[in-house]
Amino acid sequence: MMTKIRYKKPLLRILLSAFALTYSNVQANDNFEILKDSKKLVFFGDSITYGGEYVVLFERWLTVNHPEISLEILNQGIPSETVSGLSEPGHLRHGFPRPNLHERLDRALNALKPDLIIACYGINCGIYKPFDADRFDSYKDGLQRLKAKAEAQGAEIIFMTSPVYDKPNPKFDYDDVMKAYSEWLISKRQNGWRVIDLHSVMKKNLEERKAKDPKFKYSRDGIHPGTEGHELMAQQIISYFEDKPPINDPQPNSYGRLLLFLRERMRVQRDAWLTKIGHKRPMKKGMPLADADKIAAEKTVQIQQNLATIRKAAKQ
């Protein structure tokens, strides 16, 4: 299941303002060197990553603020996927078991040759059941294998803990499982793992928002974040590379068009590469890479034209 994100005008202005940053006064931190040293960044994840709004919001920040960096960004998320290799029997009602990242990982790494990977898994890996030690071990083993393969290929890898699960269940709280998974992943920092803590930030913000409005949700279905959830996800990645970036919104409409073109480019490249590399999840096929590259090139021209407009407005 995927949530289609639609922006209402008042929220759009808020969202654009939050990400409309001028590139002249940014405050990079030590992690920024990872971006400077990379040429290709690949996102791996499930349906939340496949939907990809946090990916394009991150790319817009990078495009606007750091024209000195030439970084190709590819979204390679797949709906329903796990890193644990597990699938609940009930998922077969969809006609297929959950896809396993490791079924396609070697092919993806060989084909894409990323310098940098950002991976966000967990929400599907507990397969929506109470905490179980064996399932937990499968999740841990899956992430460790992903890290080992990425580094063997020569890539840096950054993990992001799962979003919050916010779907009431009278029998047990599945978000307690996500908390345990996230805490383990965060603990791996002491072993040198690069980890962005999304889960605890989203949980804290959710509790604060619900205290003011009990009906507030980051996700309508409790799983897939909507607009504000993807904004929060993108901001955690941005904050990993940059400290307290200044806010400036000289021309909101230009930023909206830029986001549109980035989104269109992301989708056509995403689907083309997923089809080229291959996977076992039944889903719409992407167009041939050559055709996708032509469309992506057209979108790149539109992106550069919008950037010229934005930078002109920022100087005024």
Q: Encode pLDDT of 13-34 as tens digits.
A: 334 344 443 333 445 678 999 9
Q: Token pair of 154, please? A: 């020569």
Sheet bearing 194-196, strands edge to edge: 72-75, 40-45, 116-120, 156-160, 194-196
Please provide residue 222's backbone torsions phi and psi, each rounded to the nearest 5 degrees: 85, -5
For residue 296, give the nearest of 261, 252, 259, 245 by alpha carbon.
261
Nearby residues of 14 by Cβ (< 8 Å), 6 or more positions away: none
Taking residues 237-262, what's their average pLDDT?
Answer: 72
Model-level pTM?
0.89
Q: Tell me: pLDDT of 244 over 70.
A: no
pLDDT at 94: 87
Q: Encode pLDDT of 175-184 as tens digits.
A: 999 999 999 9
Between CA 179 and CA 203 the distance in angstroms is 9
Please provide residue 75's backbone torsions phi and psi, each rounded to the nearest 5 degrees: -95, 120
pLDDT at 22: 37
Amino acid at 75: N
Give, as one character, the DSSP assignment of residue 119. E
* 44-48, 82-86, 189-193, 248-252: range with lowest mean pLDDT: 248-252
Q: Reduced to 3 states, what is the DSSP secondary structure of residue 158? A: strand
**Residue 19, class by beta-carbon neighbours within 10 Å (0-12 exposed, 13-18 middle, 19+ buried)?**
buried
Q: Tell me: pLDDT of 194 over 60.
A: yes
pLDDT at 6: 43
Q: Tell me: pLDDT of 107 over 90.
A: yes
Q: Encode pLDDT of 116-151 as tens digits.
A: 999 999 999 999 999 999 999 999 999 999 999 999
**Residue 192, class by beta-carbon neighbours within 10 Å (0-12 exposed, 13-18 middle, 19+ buried)?**
exposed
Q: Token pair of 244, please? A: 């307290």
Are 39 and 72 in contact, with CB atoms under 8 Å apart?
A: yes
Nearby residues of 41 by Cβ (< 8 Å), 6 or more positions away: 35, 71, 72, 73, 74, 114, 115, 116, 117, 118
* 149-163, 215-229, 249-263: range with lowest mean pLDDT: 249-263
Domains defined for the chain, CATH in brackets: 26-253 (3.40.50.1110)
Most confident of 63-77, 127-141, 229-243: 127-141
* 16-25, 68-77, 118-127, 241-250: range with lowest mean pLDDT: 16-25
